[in-house]
């Protein structure tokens, strides 16, 4: 059965949010209509959402949207319901996506550099080849997520859940996995700069521990001088 989606523009999303609408489930961005940052009231929308007192109890519903290619740096979407959403190629640098439920969604090739994904549900999300440099993953759930080829350099991952996630080819330079769960994570042996990460009270099985310790042992610690 084919699901019919309602076409919408980024400008319309902004204006409707400011008019009090919160349900955008099943919408699809029209061709060339995805530059939210150019909407005349974009900054006003973000300020409006920051000021809503019941956004956690009555969040925006963007479940199953197809907003691939959306351009929305600094977007404030606290607590938004986005399960199954398609944001392939989205530009969301610096976005505030705390407590978002993006379960089963698609963020392939998206730019999430310096974005805040704290306490969100990112279970089984496809982040393949996404840019996530410097992002904040505090207490977020990334169980079974795909991080293949992702740039996660400098990401902060305090108490995050990465159980059964796939890190094949991911760039992990300087990531902090403090009190995070890496049990049954795959692709760690094919991740880049794994040995430069900080591991403290990280939860692993014997298999992940062997791979991590082997990577740490390969990191040069001295420069030999005459």
Span 167-221, pLDDT tens digits: 999 999 999 999 999 999 999 999 999 999 999 999 999 999 999 999 999 887 6
CA angle 38, 119, 116 (to 5 degrees): 35
Is it the case that residue 1 has pLDDT exceeding 60? no
Answer for the pair 182, 208: CB distance below 8 angstroms, yes or no: yes
CA distances to 43, 78, 85, 226 from 106, in Å: 26, 18, 6, 53
| Of the candidates 80, 64, 101, 147, the residue with the CA atom closest to the CA atom of residue 72 | 80
Give the pLDDT score at 2.
Answer: 53
Mean pLDDT, the chain, rounded, equals: 96
Average pLDDT (49-58) is 93
The secondary structure of 100-159, three-state, reads: CECCCCECCCCECCCCECCCCECCCCECCCCECCCCECCCCECCCCECCCCECCCCECCC
Give the pLDDT score at 220.
Answer: 76
pTM of this structure = 0.94
Q: How far apart, in whole angstroms, are the C-alpha atoms of residue 173 and residue 56? A: 34
């Amino acid at each position: 059965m084919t699901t019919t989606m309602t076409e919408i523009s980024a400008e319309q999303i902004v204006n409707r949010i400011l008019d009090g609408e919160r349900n955008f489930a099943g919408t699809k961005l029209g061709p060339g209509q995805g530059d939210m940052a150019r909407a005349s009231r974009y900054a006003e929308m973000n300020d409006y959402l920051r000021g809503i007192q019941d956004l956690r109890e009555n969040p925006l519903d963007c479940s199953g949207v197809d907003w691939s290619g959306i351009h929305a740096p600094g977007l404030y979407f606290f607590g938004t319901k986005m399960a199954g959403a398609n944001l392939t190629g989205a530009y969301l640098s610096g976005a505030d996506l705390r407590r978002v439920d993006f379960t089963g969604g698609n963020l392939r090739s998206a730019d999430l550099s310096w974005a805040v994904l704290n306490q969100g549900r990112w279970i089984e999300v496809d982040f393949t080849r996404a840019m996530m440099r410097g992002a904040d993953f505090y207490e977020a759930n990334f169980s079974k997520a795909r991080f293949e080829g992702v740039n996660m350099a400098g990401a902060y991952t305090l108490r995050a859940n990465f159980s059964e996630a796939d890190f094949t080819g991911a760039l992990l330079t300087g990531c902090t996995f403090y009190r995070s769960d890496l049990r049954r994570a795959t692709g760690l042996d094919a991740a880049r700069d794994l040995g430069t990460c900080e591991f403290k009270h990280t939860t692993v099985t014997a298999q992940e521990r062997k791979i991590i310790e082997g990577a740490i042992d390969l990191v040069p610690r001295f420069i030999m001088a005459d």
